[in-house]
Amino acid sequence: MTERRIRITGGKLITPDSVLEGYDLLIQGSRIAGILPADEGKMQETDQVIDAHGVYLMPGMIDIHSDMIENLIQPRSTALMDFDMALAESERLLAMCGITSMFHSISMYREGTWDVKEIRKASQVRRLAELIRQKKQRPGLIRHYYHLRYEIDNLECYPQVEEMIANGMTDLVSFMDHTPGQGQYQDLSVYRKHQPDEGKNLTDREFRQLVEQEQQKPKASQEQLKVLADLAASRGIAVASHDDDSIGKLKRNRKLGVRISEFPITLEVAKEAVREGYLTVLGAPNILLGGSHSGNLSALQAIREKAADVLVSDYYPQSLLYAVFLLNRRYAVALPEAVAYVTKNPAAAVGIGSEYGSLETGKKADIVFVDSSGELPVIQKVMVNGNLVVDCMNTGME
C-alpha cells in the first residue's frame, strides 16, 4: 500500500536552528519526508495539501513530568474513576494542549504518608503503569509513557519498583525525597503550608512532632538506589533526581548514574548540575506565575543563566505552550530555543530524540499548528504520526 503524502504550505516552521518562512513541510506516512522551498514543494505529488496560512508549525510537545492524570482518576478523596476512561480523557485534553508524548508521573508513596492518597498507593500505581504499557500497543490520539516517581522512604515497595523496572513497566524513574528540612521543604513553613486539610490545624507542638517523625524515617540506601539505577540503565531507561538542594547531593546522584536533575532548588545547584552534565528540568507553571509556588528557584532566572534545559507542565498541561510564547514575547528568548525546552530537549533527556522532538526529515510527523496573532497563542491543529488528531479550524459551524 502506498503511504499517504501530505504537503503543508504557508506555515512558519520552527526548526531546531531557525524559523523558516516560504518552505513546505512534506509528510509521507507517519514521518517528515522533507522540508523544501515552497516552489519545489508544490511540484511534489501529494494526496493532500494543508494551507497553514501564516501560523507557526512546531514539533509536538513532550512532557516528561506531569501528574495531571491524578485528578482525572481521583477527582475527590473518595472518588476513584475508571482508569481506562481517565486515560482516554487525558488523551483528548493533552492533544488539545499540543502535547503529543506524555510521561504520566505518579508518585509511589509509603502507607501512612500524609499525602498518600489512593492513586499514589503501590497497587494503583502498578495498575496505571500496566494500563499505559498496554496502551502503547493500541492506536490513540497521543503517546503515553509512565514516569515512576519513587519516594525513597517507601522501603516496603522497593522490590516492586525493581520488578517494574525489570519488566518494562516504566519509561523514566526519578528518586524523590520529600523529607522536611531539605529538598523542596528546606523551609519548614512551606512544608506546613503544603499540608492537606486535615493537617492544617496542627498545633506547633504537633507540627514539630510530625517533622521529627518524618526526619527519622528510614530510607533506601545509596547501594539500593544504585541497584535500581543500574537496572534502569540496562533497560535504556533514564533516571532523574528530584529537588536537588546541594552540590553534594548532585555528586552523590552522579555516582548512581543519574543524568536528569528535576527542579533544582537554587541557581547555584542548577548551574553546578549543568557543569556536571545533568539535564535540568524546571516547571512551565513557574514561568507563568513569575516564580516557584514553593519559593524555590525561578525558572526564568535559570533560563537566563543557561541553567535550564527542559520545561515540564508538572500539574498544569496548558502551561507548556503559553510558557514558550511568553518566553519569546516578553523575555526575548528566540522561538527555536523556547520551543526546544518542551520538544527537542526533553526528547533527548529520555532517549527518544532520534524519533521525536524536532521538525527534521526522517522524524515522526508530530506537528502543532499555532496561531500567535492574538494576545494568547491558540492551537489550530495537531498531527501525531502524520494523522490529524485535533482540528479546531473545521468545526462545521457557519
Instruction: Please give the full DSSP string across 63-116, using - where no structure is assigned.
Output: EEEE-THHHHH-SBTTB---HHHHHHHHHHHHHHTTEEEEEEEEEEPPTT-TT-
pLDDT of 346 over the 90 cut: yes
Closest C-alpha to 264, from 384, 253, 374? 253
Q: What are phi and psi of 57, to 5 degrees?
A: -115, 125
Residues 190-217, buried b or exposed e (16+ Cβ, 10 A)?
A: bbbebeeeeeeeeeeeebeebbeebeee
The predicted-structure confidence for 67-80, as pLDDT tens digits, reads as follows 999 999 999 888 99
Closest C-alpha to 366, from 57, 16, 11? 57
pTM of the model: 0.92
The predicted-structure confidence for 274-324, as pLDDT tens digits, reads as follows 999 999 999 999 999 998 866 789 999 999 999 999 999 999 999 999 999
Which three cell numbers, joined as nine digits, stand for 371? Answer: 496561531
Across residues 162-173, what is the average pLDDT? 96
Decide if 5-58+358-391 and 61-179+217-349 have a common fold: no
pLDDT interval class at 212 (50, 70, 90)? confident
**Do the beta carbons of residue 361 and residue 51 sit within 8 Å?**
no
75 CB burial (10 A radius; 0-12, 13-18, 19+): exposed
For the chain, the structural domain boundaries read 5-58+358-391, 61-179+217-349
Using CA atoms of 97, 20, 357, 331 in order, give the dihedral in degrees to the nearest 10.
Answer: -60
Distance CA 372, CA 392 (A): 15
The predicted-structure confidence for 128-150, as pLDDT tens digits, reads as follows 999 999 998 888 899 999 999 99
Q: How far is CA 136 from the centre of its chain?
A: 17
Across residues 84-109, what is the average pLDDT? 94
Q: How far is CA 139 from the centre of its chain?
A: 21
Instruction: Count CA atoms closer than 13 A to 155's CA, side-chain side.
Output: 8
Q: What is the pLDDT of residue 262?
A: 96
pLDDT of 198 over the 60 cut: no
Distance CA 37, CA 248 (A): 51
The predicted-structure confidence for 76-95, as pLDDT tens digits, reads as follows 888 999 999 999 999 999 99
Which is more confident, 293 or 348? Answer: 348
* CATH architecture for residues 5-58+358-391: Roll (2.30)
**Do the beta carbons of residue 320 and residue 313 sit within 8 Å?**
yes
Instruction: Determine the CATH number of domain 61-179+217-349.
Output: 3.20.20.140
CA distances from 145 to 66, 119, 132, 168, 226 (A): 11, 17, 6, 11, 23
